Structure 1
Amino acid sequence: MDASSHSSPPRSSFREAEKHLSGLDAQTVASLIEQSSDIAVIIENGLVKDVAIASEDLRRSGFANGWIGRPWIDTVSSDSRTKIEALLSAGDNAAPVRPRQVNHPSGGVRDVPVSYRTVKTPARGPVIALGRDLREISELQQRLVKAQQDIERDYARLRKAEGRYKMIFEAVADPILIVTAEELHVEAANRSAGKALGIEPDRLSRADFPGLFAPRAARVVERMAAKALATGNSTSEKTELANGKKVDLTASVFGQGLDARLVIKIGGEGIGPHQGDDDRAQLLRALEDLPDAFVVTDEDLRILAANRAFLEMAHLSEEEHATGARLSQYLGRSTTDLNVLISTLKTNGTARNFATVLRDRFNAEEQVEVSAVSTSIARPGFYAFSVRIVTRRFATEPPPGEELPRSVDHLTNLVGRMPLKDIVRDSTTLIERLCVEAALKLTDDNRASAAEILGLSRQGLYSKLKRFGIDDKA
């Protein structure tokens, strides 16, 4: 067997450095140090004794001018001083230490980043710092970060555009299907299409488009699709759906090749926009201008639309900032509040005067009352919420001249409208007042006797009389 197969792997340091390198003179060693780094610094007792710069770019910029005779630690920025201390104190003998990146202030706009290793010479000799210019790497990193930020901004714009597209797609009164050109599979369908076809929009996704029609009409649909792909658009005569309804189809193409899609519009008697659309538009405008907040969510309580009043309550500048967010981000003391409200909606279809809180984007809270309606009880649908601020109505401190709550019924009615700690505080205040009034009645308004039976000082009783607004009678 070849002896070389038994040789040990390369070592991390020379085996016989003294034998091979002991004859090197100081100039040769200096040349090796200069060529092995962009900048080499000789430091003794923390002071820069000599500097060699191999980088032509650094030399031209006047880097390291005036260093000799200064503390090395003074040549770096304030955030790098601890690293210089570590480089000077770490390691012993001639063992190199872990590299540290420091920043040197320069005459330019940005600091010069340099990665240093230090080697201590034997016999308490000087420290040699070998530096590598990191400006190119830093610029590449900054370019990478900028590219990543650009990608994230583009992605955010695409998501916003996609959100608008989905909202518009769902709001269109005409039944519309998006169909893949190659396989003729339904890719998306709006609610109007689901109603026209008698199929839930979710179930339409990935459905075979020709399969939605009567068997004898499927070929007609395929020919219409082929013509649209060839000419850009096409229409069909009355075509029979699988449920027997006769409809008109209009197809147009967007995209090219394998990415092409067909936009299919379904028309016919009783399908699409009807006479009440103008009234609906006026209703929508009225809801937008409503002084109470109005929010529409999907079954997962993600906001689909919100009027101006809601945006003002939540301190949001645009509707896009609310669209897609969960309602729980703004409404409810906790998830329990919304769970109770949605449970009521699923059971009864409506909820009235539900007390909770509304949080703005700065987490400031307002006491509110919510009335809500579900579009469907039997199956998942949409929820609409009307939100009204009622903070003043449920203020815990009564206005001057007004009576405190005088009955247990009144206090129990506050459950759900106020936090428990506020109800307990009001209950304590009510009990105190009732006890003071009872004591005055028992003692025929003798303040000294009333204070005694209440276990209060006379001054303490007078303080409570003033607090509760009980007139001091002669």
Structure 2
Amino acid sequence: MKTFATPRTSLGPLDADAAAGLIAAAADIALVLDEAGIIRDLAFSHAELAREFEGPEAWLGRPWIDTVARDSRPKVEALLLLDPPADQARWRHVNQLSARGISVPLLCSSAPLGTAGRRVVFGRDLRPLSQLQQRLVEVQQSMERDYSRLRQAETRYRLLFQMSVDPVLILDAEQQRILESNPAAQRLFGRGARRSPGRMLSELFDPTGRAAVQALLTTVRNAGRADDVTAHLAEGGEAVLVSASTFRQEGGLLYLLRLTAPGTTAPSLPDAQDKQLKVIEVAPDGFVVTDSGAQILTANAAFLDMAQLTSEEQARGASLDRWIGHQGVELEVLLSNLRNRGAVRLYVTTLQGEMGGQVEVEISAVSVMNGGQPCFGFQIRDIGPRSRPAARAAEGATRSVEQLTELIGRVPLKDLVREATDAIERLCIEAALELTGDNRASAAEMLGLSRQSLYVKLRRYGLGDLDEQQG
């Protein structure tokens, strides 16, 4: 141990208080022991550590070895040796016990104090270091768990990739070069299977299919999704259905292509899609799917009831304008909007049944792509019962307008405006009474009138049996 060369000159005369201050400042906890190892005094560098031990004054007069954990007693004995071996470590890890029995880790070293056999023990609080070590261990364990999950996920991915019955390719999005291909893809490409990784995607398809697949990839990259396209292979000319999606890996964009090989049985629908089809089949609103020429591909039971058909076969293949609108004009307007906008909402028209029945319907429609070809889906709702009050009100309004038109030139404008106001007010009251089933209280609330004001207006326009209502 290297000590000061000229302590008397450099440090000067030190009294006991100055020495005590130096000792207390040199460690988090300092113990003064006599020649028997009994604690005669102690000091703490900060009050928080003193509170942790809760009354360390109880250590005074006790052997230091009795205040530490059992596993630390051999270390205390080694620190208290008067003539320790030269190879013995100067600092030892000691677990100091508090009054509550809590173990506080300290890094301790001892040094002689004067000539009376006394020693001073310097202790450094190891809890911050222990907390850092604990966090390091927790982080390492968390990383090991994450690595384990990643390895398991990669194993599952590899297994699914290899066992997939559909040919699957993984491409670099920038160069469109094949990075990986599963065994099904290698079998599909025949003699070029072994050299599939590294090949350009354009080499796999004929010129027409190459353009279709390129358009598919561009759409997927820009919009996130696209409908499947049909392409022919360059080797053999077989037709395959190509679907694509994107994902990111190591900061780069990759394509995942799935090819449905010829003769491959289509996979069964997921449960969620199967349930959706069942819901559409039994829905109270009509649902029809047609091709781009409005030829019916499928229809549910509600549409068959409205069209007065007994089976779906009667509708399949027929044009939808056979039942919708008048002479095909309205359906052409509907299809034109679908082709231009992709969707139509709440289009009101009529549906003609096979037996001569006619119902007012409200149509919402959407255009989707299926296998590269557009098709239309129509939701058809019967609105006859709810549209009749409005229709009758419209008829009444038409009659009132005709009557007002006849008055033009015969009466002043202010009288004509008053007549129009009265006509509108009468129509609103009639509509409110019809909607509420002739309930005067509900009609008054709907119109924002008091019941008395409503009765005054009913008398004015001669509506209803007021004597019976008030009686």
TM-score (norm 2): 0.50
Q: In terms of Rg, which structure is larger?
A: 2
